[in-house]
Chains A and B, each alone.
Chain A
Amino acid sequence: AQSVTQPDIHITVSEGASLELRCNYSYGATPYLFWYVQSPGQGLQLLLKYFSGDTLVQGIKGFEAEFKRSQSSFNLRKPSVHWSDAAEYFCAVGRGSGGSNYKLTFGKGTLLTVNP
């Protein structure tokens, strides 16, 4: 079974500082990899995804993530954090061919606090 680990429950950074959120996964094949962001009381917004190809993917809001197969990691990065980036971030792994056999498994999330 697939699993997703986000080692950091809570991270605090200063506005303007760089950010890296860690994500490790366990899955036998090459997975679909995602990062979502959730503001309090809201649904999830997709930041970026990796299906295949270039291992460095660019997303919205200035985020990027790098797929490293050897480390089973898909860490999220941003060079300069803005106060509006404060939210909960979820890494997710998808498996299945699509349709009813598709399963998306989420990590436990990392709460990002941004200090002024």
Chain B
Amino acid sequence: GAVVSQHPSWVICKSGTSVKIECRSLDFQATTMFWYRQFPKQSLMLMATSNEGSKATYEQGVEKDKFLINHASLTLSTLTVTSAHPEDSSFYICSAMKRPGELFFGEGSRLTVL
């Protein structure tokens, strides 16, 4: 199957700092990528849709100034958590669309904000 890679797998940062998470599609081009957040023992919640060459589309309730998304190329989308606080600690997962309706997921990135 297709490969989607996330980096870093885990990161610990101090409150108030910013953290960038990368999502790469390694063997296909993806004009659309998605970012999800998953709290412990819960399901995945869609945060935003990342579109190559244009602005991301955020879900209701997601702060676009807090969670900056950039999709600068057909194989890379980045999520930057700005001025992170402990409540932003979570598991962030990206996915990339290879074909209409078919998504492949990254391994996830665990963020811990102290």
Contacts and interface: CB of A to CB of B under 8 A. Distances in A.
**Most chain A CB inside 10 Å of its own CB: which residue of B46, B95, B103:** B103
A102 B100 CA distance: 8
Interface residues of A, number: 25
Contact of B100 (A43, A97, A106): A97
B61 interface: no
Interface in B17-54: 31-32, 34, 42-44, 46, 49, 51
Interface residues on B, range: 20 to 34
Contacts of B97: 98-99, 102
B103 A104 contact: yes
A109 B46 contact: no
B32 A51 contact: no
A97 B105 CA distance: 19
A-B CB proximity, top 5 nearest: A98-B100, A44-B105, A43-B107, A43-B105, A32-B101
Interface of B: 1, 4, 6, 31-32, 34, 42-44, 46, 49, 51, 57, 91, 93, 95, 97, 99-108, 110
22 contacts: A41-B91, A41-B110, A42-B107, A43-B6, A43-B93, A45-B105, A46-B1, A46-B104, A51-B101, A90-B44, A94-B103, A98-B100, A99-B31, A99-B32, A100-B57, A102-B32, A102-B97, A102-B100, A102-B101, A106-B43, A107-B43, A109-B43
